[in-house]
Chain A
Amino acid sequence: MIGDDIVMLSRLQFGLTALYHFLFVPLTLGMTFILGIMESVYVMTGKEVYKDMTKFWGKLFGINFAMGVTTGITLEFQFGTNWAYYSHYVGDIFGPLLASEGWMAFFLESTFVGLFFFGWDKLTKVQHLVVTWLLAVGTSLSALWILIANGWMQYPVGAEFNYETLRMEMTSFADVILNPVAQVKFVHTVAAGYVTGSMFVLGISSWYLLNKRDIGFARRSFSIASAFGLASVLSVIVLGDESGYTQGETQKIKLAAIEAEWETEAAPASFTAFGFPNQATQHTDYAIKIPYVLGLIATRSIDEPVKGLKELREDSLVRVKNGMVAYGELQKLRSGDHSDATLQAFDAHKADLGYGLLLKKYTENVVDADTATIEKAANDTIPKVAPLFWTFRVMVACGFTMLFVFAMTFYYCATRVADQKRWLLRMAVWCIPLPWIAAETGWFVAEVGRQPWTISGVLPTHLSVSSISTGQLWFSIAGFALFYTVLLIIEMYLMLKYVRLGPSSLHTGRYFFEPQAGH
């Protein structure tokens, strides 16, 4: 039996390293596109200031990119080191997606990032612009592949269990790639990255404007960021709604947990805007409900009900029982009984095999589970509601706050009075952390909301871990804590230093802190 502490520590390590990695990824996604836009303006207008903008914001991007690369390698190692059984069980589907990311995305971004920094004098203007855009495309393609992989974990289509190899195997690559969850996730996540880049540039430019330095440089950066940011934040919100809809189709439990929807309401369900979900009583205290909204988001209809957690748990109970049958038939197959009857019985129940595996947490043999144990396994399929409920609302609040900031800045940019709206500039500076908070809480909702599964309905988290010891886990967690803390301090120090230096760090002689500026 696998120790709970191994599972807990493995989850802790993966969660922390993934969230840490995602401090750097969204900024990379957004900055590369903003750099592409700035340089395009430079190539079209020939104005040097746009080249300086590309180079200066490029420097900040570079400081961030190094950390993204560092922390990204961790994730690839970790599937094997900490989630070995997961790797065996779904490597047939998950592996090729990672490998595709290598071929199509990592090579592109990593090969051209060097030329972006050092190719200015070796390439023509247009060549360099192409390099910058390839870098941007590379980073977004990387997000595409990893989100197809993650989408498959949420909604595993195009694969089935093979009893001869004891793992999931791909049946349709097209289904895996065209997974609706993956498509929505991809657009939602990259757009969130573009918002992050925009907020970063907008906030820092606002700070320059507030300090009345590098005005022309900051004003142009500000305009680009507000326009790109507005378009992006709108996409994030629209696609967030879209993902509510696909969740209603594909991840009912997660949706019900996010919305603290305990009971199945008469359609169209109301949306709980606020309240205190109470897991023990399965009730949301002090709930403030908005009629119809959840039904509209989740089903886009007024007559389809949204299933509540209590009913979903009953569904799980049936599936756990089916899963026990599947497991029993699998044992027969493995002991050499390949008769048609066994095969048919197994095929009839194998979609629920994963639910049977939930019982492994309590009994090694699965088929001997008693009623109480089966109930426990069914309970396990309902995640803790309150953390999901709250983190989701934090994410949404951040999103709408940023929508306000981008809408206002865009409007005042268009009317050419943005510099004078000091309250808005100050607000933009204070809003710099928001996209990160939104991204991290968003990941939390997506991943914790999938528990108790690593592959939804297929492979329970507690079976996915490696056969390793707590000592090994503590060693790695200590290592990550040490490296990541030191690196973060260094990164923040450099980032702040270069933000303060501003475009004077380019040593062109044209900017603030450069008194010799002659023109």
Chain B
Amino acid sequence: MFDYETMRVIWWLFIGVVAIAFAVTEGFDFGVCTLLPLVGKTDTERRVIINTVGVTWEGNQVWLILLGGAIFAIWPAVYATLFSGLYVAMLLVLFALFFRPAGFDYRSKLPDPRWRNAWDWCLFLGGTLPPVLFGVLVGNLLLGLPFHLDQDLRAFYDGSFWGLLNPFALLCGVIGLALTTFHGALFLKCRSEGVIYERSTAVLNILGPVLLLLLGIATVWTLFGIDRPEITQMPAGDAPSNPMNKTVIAAGASWLTHFLTYPWMLIAPTVGFIGLIMAWLFGKGDNRVAALLSSSLGLTGLLLTIGFGLFPFLLISTTDPRSSLTLYDASSSHTTLLWAFWITVVFLPIVLLYTRWVYKIIWGDITEQTILQDTHTLY
């Protein structure tokens, strides 16, 4: 069961798991930061909001770091092509991430309201720009990216940064932001009471239908307006990783055909939409934990939809379809996949266990009282 082909598929699933963990946990951290200056009016209110994620945001961020590291380890070609190709976009993501560590830690170290207000907007940017950029990235993954590999397998990007900002990708950027804000508002409800709880509910009431509408548009757009190439010939699943040994042809807007070829994959979009609808309905009321779990389920469904939709592609090339990278021909060696597999099998459960323990210790409502009691210690 540990043959090369199976390991490649298992790792495709594992990276999906890491991406989902990232989206679910950092999703609400981003969302809470976006909502910070909007939902919190006074300094104490804002401190309540910050401290709902204060203890745990840093651990959650590691899912993003690990996602990068895992792609580097498992699909080096994807890591190389994506990060260098989308150079400016990736640096913008990076710069946006700079705002948070200092924002969280430094904001309440000085009492000056101008200082605190400035950091609040930094946190806002740190929570808002990444989901927009990640959304744009996902949009472009579906559209395919203009890149090619040369005979040394060196990656060249054939487009520009501005080309990434096309209408479909921008729609996906807006969806990314709407998703994290929605998810963040649900999280905020889970850990607050009174005025912040109510304002978060108000945000959810507006955002829920908007989000579902946007997702509906993006779905229709993808199914009928975006081309998806097709692999007509490729080496065996356990062949050495070399993307140049396959044949890929244009196949028009064939996403629906693809899903119908693997009908079980339709469970992903179903879970995505049902999860988000339930999250919206629960979110209106007081069943806050059920709402957060539902939106987590919704996010999971959406990410799986993207992964399944691209299968077996990881990166589609629009300028040289043969250079497209798949989970079979862009992976690391069998030895590396196996080692990484065992490390993950051991450490994933350990990480989940102690993360759960930390959440258990700190879980509960943060109130203005909490902040005033520990005013010199808390963020």
Contacts and interface: CB of A to CB of B under 8 A. Distances in A.
B90 A80 contact: yes
Contact of B106 (A63, A81, A108, A110): A63
Contact of B105 (A63, A92, A115): A63
Contact of B240 (A87, A95, A164): A164
Tell me what chain B mostly uses at the interface: helix, strand, loop, or mixed: helix
Contacts of B93: 77
A455 to B, nearest CB: 14
Contacts of A487: 98, 102
A59 B91 CA distance: 30
B362 A103 contact: no
Contacts of B332: 91-92, 95-96, 169-170
Contacts of B54: 114, 118
B331 to A, nearest CB: 9
A472 B73 CA distance: 26
> Which of A121, A171, A466 lies at the interface centre, i.e. has the most chain B CB atoms within 10 A of its CB?
A466
A98 B62 CA distance: 12
A62 B377 CA distance: 12
A107 interface: yes
B76 A102 contact: no
Interface in A435-478: 466-468, 472, 475-476
B209 interface: no
Interface string B339-354: 1100110011001001
Interface in B47-103: 54-59, 61-62, 65-66, 68-70, 72-74, 76-77, 79-84, 87-88, 90-91, 93-95, 97-98, 101-102
B157 A467 contact: yes
A91 B73 CA distance: 6
Given A66-B105, A99-B343, A79 B59 contact: no
B79 A95 contact: yes
B98 A95 contact: no
A505 B340 contact: no
A468 B153 CA distance: 15
> Which of A67, A104, A165 lies at the interface centre, i.e. has the most chain B CB atoms within 10 A of its CB?
A165
A47 interface: no
Interface stretch (A29-37, A68-76, A207-215, A374-382): A68-76
Interface in A326-342: 334
Interface residues of B, number: 70
B156 interface: yes
Interface string A76-117: 110111101101100111111011111110111011111101
B254 interface: no
Interface residues of A, number: 75
Given A115-B358, A483-B98, A93 B336 contact: yes
Contacts of B81: 84
A74 B72 CA distance: 14
A113 B102 contact: no
B98 A107 contact: no
A118 B374 CA distance: 9
A362 interface: no
A171 B61 CA distance: 32
Given A73-B97, A88-B155, A110-B62, A80 B82 contact: yes
Nearest to A173: B339
B58 A472 contact: no
Contact of B66 (A106, A108, A497): A106
B84 A106 contact: no
A302 interface: no
A490 B343 contact: no
A364 to B, nearest CB: 10
Interface string A22-56: 00000000000000000000000000000000000
B248 interface: no
A107 B76 CA distance: 22
A519 interface: no
A421 to B, nearest CB: 34
A103 B72 contact: no
A108 B355 CA distance: 9
A506 B377 CA distance: 8
Given A73-B65, A108-B354, A166-B242, 4 more contacts: A99-B66, A111-B62, A114-B54, A173-B335
9 contacts: A63-B105, A96-B343, A99-B340, A113-B58, A122-B362, A165-B240, A169-B332, A490-B102, A494-B110
Interface of A: 62-63, 65-67, 69-70, 73-74, 76-77, 79-82, 84-85, 87-88, 91-96, 98-104, 106-108, 110-115, 117-123, 162, 164-167, 169-171, 173, 334, 466-468, 472, 475-476, 479, 483, 487, 490-491, 494, 497-498, 505-507
- Nearest first, the 9 closest Cβ-Cβ pairs linking A and B are A91-B76, A80-B83, A95-B73, A114-B55, A466-B84, A84-B84, A111-B59, A102-B66, A84-B80
